[in-house]
Structure 1
Amino acid sequence: MSSNAARGADLTPVLRPAPLQAGDMVRLVSPGSPPHRDDVLQTQRTLQTWGLEVTLGDNVLNKFGYLAGTDTERLNDLNHALRDPSVRAIMATRGGKGSYRIAEQLDFAAARADPKFLVGFSDITVLHMSLWKHSRVVGLHGALYVDETTGDIPRLRSESLRAALMSEGPTVIASRQDEPTSQLTTTGTARGPLLGGNLDMIATGAGWALPDLRGAIVFIEAVDLYLGQVDRQLTMLRNAGHFDGIAGIAVGQFTKFNTSKGITITALLRDHLSRFDVPILGGLPLGHGDRPETVPLGGMAVLDAQAGALVVE
């Protein structure tokens, strides 16, 4: 497989927020499902040890059924953070469900006028996609979520996010051989903006929040879906042309999947992804699995399948 250069149709400049420094303010918001209060406070304490000031959105601990407050409450917290010049990064307390209900109502003009990192993954993917589509602002696919078994924030997750949030250098994500999706790795290199995230949200955003992926390295990960759901999502995205002209595919963690009458998630992914004839790098520790790392979304990336590395500027 040969290299593919980025050739997206939109030439609007990409905006990468400035790295945070000690004393900068981070705002915690809950765009999706309600978080646990103790987890929010632990995230706040961890960020404060980095020298950052941390404030909470007015509705961050609200609960409205399976949502962290009404749509208006969740949207207000997010837009207030986008408009507040003292806020230098916005961090989602968790994913879950609900971000897709407000993704088209973000203040995109404010996001472009004052670029700041949005940090989150899973359900937050739809917000990343919408912000990229309308504002071309780089976000961070990552989190400081507390491990349910230990009650602590894993050290690698903390260090990876801190580096992505507060350093100037590129982000290097190495493939892990113990990740099942490493079996999908092919050959070749690709260059383009890294776009995507949670596959369920990519499919949910198709036709309204999903940006043009031509020339992009598409990143996908998923958790706790039926194989048939993944099959339907990839079939729709492929047949609708959403993956036409992509430069490469970065495959993260596909966790909590069961074999279905001999079909594995890896075999299902290979069946779909091999049809695009682009370099594929699997085994990336990005998603809902063990020791996930943080990666910028929207930044220019180089995928090197032979070297087993994804490098994002």
Structure 2
Amino acid sequence: MQRHPSLSRRALIGGLAAGAVAAAATASPAAAKGPRRPKKLVPGDLVVVPAPGGPSTAAAVARGVAVLEGWGLRVELTEHALDTFGYLSAPDADRLADLNYALAHPEAKALMTVRGGYGTTRIIDDADVEALEDHPKLVIGYSDITALHLAVAEQTRVPTLHSPMMAWSSNNTPATAESLRRAVMTADPVVLERDPAEPTAPVEVPGTATGKLLGGNLSLLAAEPDRSNWPDMDGAILLIEEVEEARYRVDNMLTRVIRAGHFDGLAGIAVGQFVPHPLDQHKPGEWTMNEVITDRLGTLGVPVLGGLKIGHGPDPRVVPLGTEAVLDTAAGTLTVEAAVKD
């Protein structure tokens, strides 16, 4: 494992026809062509690790480093990856410099964040996301890193991975690690099956949908400014998951995004893990979390599949974002094209 030695290395960063023309002139790079998949990782490839959100511990990061190094990958921590600054990993300027260093790194094949927490939204507007077009690499993370997923989806054609991060959580299992290994080191499609034991498994609106998979943590989706990095959701399949939010808060966030029109034109919705808030105790006569989700999503007229092991719950799985997916409620499956190519 390397540590990023100095800031000086950041020098590496160095009618219809008329309507179609206008649309092409204003379309995001991500909408212009199909996905630009990086090559799958092989032993010896480098993974660079910034911490754009909250802090972690050296011990937790070491667990994640051991997983990747066990596959023959090399790991480089950015300068402030193990710092702590209040509830942030480091001051905004340092986190941004580390993130931009990682995004533009000419040798790294993947960028795996330390953890989520909070802080990515404070620096995302100045992140050099378009550097990925010059140096394509996988962006790996979830939770607070949803802000980065959205920016990459809106500003580039590079797929990302919704995945556990370098601060290896006790929720992760050997199956979680194998899910990550296959997602970064093979070009096989990712197939997720509805798990009847998952609390959101009863959430379903029958049907089949095909489209690009986009989304992530619901809180971060709801917090994204309407004219910022919201990617084009027309024809897309939306992924949502959440952790320790009260039921009325989930209702409020879904309602805000629906009212803003961001769900207009969706092809389908994949529902991951919704870990309950410990103080949000259900009382007789109240809606359950599943009833809240079904009430808000069930009127959109699109298939909805719950019970997917994606998110903050135990034994999570890795799934690409920004590639084509098929959601089939009868089969109980979400099948997603790989984020990498051979």
Do they superpose with TM above 0.5?
yes
| 2:152 equivalent among 125, 131, 135 | 131
Poorly superposed stretches of 4+, deviation over 4 Å: none
CA–CA separation in structure 2 for the residues paired with 1:219 and 1:206: 18
Query: Displacement, 1:196?
Result: 0.3
Aligned residue number for residue 6 of structure 1: none
CA–CA separation in structure 2 for the residues paired with 1:285 and 1:88: 26
Query: Displacement, 1:86?
Result: 0.9
Query: Displacement, 1:88?
Result: 0.7
Q: Which runs of 5+ in 2 are unaligned?
A: 1-26, 338-342
CA–CA separation in structure 2 for the residues paired with 1:163 and 1:195: 20
Query: Displacement, 1:21?
Result: 0.6
Query: Displacement, 1:146?
Result: 3.0
Question: Is 1:193–1:301's contact at 8 Å kept on the other side of the alignment?
Answer: yes
Superposed CA deviations along residues 216-239 of structure 1, whole A, max 9, x for unmatched, are 100000000111211111111111
Which has the larger displacement, 98-107 or 168-177?
98-107
CA–CA separation in structure 2 for the residues paired with 1:164 and 1:118: 12
CA–CA separation in structure 2 for the residues paired with 1:227 and 1:210: 24
1:96 equivalenced with 2:113 (yes/no):
no
Query: Displacement, 1:166?
Result: 0.6
SS in structure 2 of the partner of residue 222 of structure 1: strand
CA–CA separation in structure 1 for the residues paired with 2:94 and 2:138: 21
SS in structure 1 of the partner of residue 312 of structure 2: coil
Query: Displacement, 1:209?
Result: 2.2
Structure 1 letter corresponding to 2:114: T
Quick check: which has more Rg, 1 or 2? 2
Query: Displacement, 1:189?
Result: 0.8
Query: Displacement, 1:304?
Result: 0.8
SS in structure 2 of the partner of residue 310 of structure 1: strand
Structure 1 letter corresponding to 2:204: T
Query: Displacement, 1:302?
Result: 0.6
Aligned residue number for residue 165 of structure 1: 184
| 2:51 equivalent among 30, 53, 78 | 30
Aligned residue number for residue 5 of structure 1: none
Aligned residue number for residue 221 of structure 1: 241
Query: Displacement, 1:259?
Result: 4.4
Aligned residue number for residue 288 of structure 2: 264
Aligned residue number for residue 198 of structure 1: 217
Question: Is 1:259–1:265's contact at 8 Å kept on the other side of the alignment?
Answer: no
Query: Displacement, 1:148?
Result: 4.2
Task: Count residues with an aligned counterpart.
Answer: 302
Aligned residue number for residue 193 of structure 2: 174
Aligned residue number for residue 251 of structure 2: 231
Query: Displacement, 1:54?
Result: 0.7
Structure 2 letter corresponding to 1:239: R
Query: Displacement, 1:241?
Result: 0.5
SS in structure 2 of the partner of residue 181 of structure 1: coil
Superposed CA deviations along residues 58-113 of structure 1, whole A, max 9, x for unmatched, are 11011111001011111111111121111110111110000111112221331112
RMSD of the alignment, in Å? 1.4
Question: Is 2:200–2:271's contact at 8 Å kept on the other side of the alignment?
Answer: yes
Query: Displacement, 1:52?
Result: 0.4
Structure 2 letter corresponding to 1:252: G
| 2:333 equivalent among 302, 309, 312 | 309
Question: Is 1:103–1:209's contact at 8 Å kept on the other side of the alignment?
Answer: no
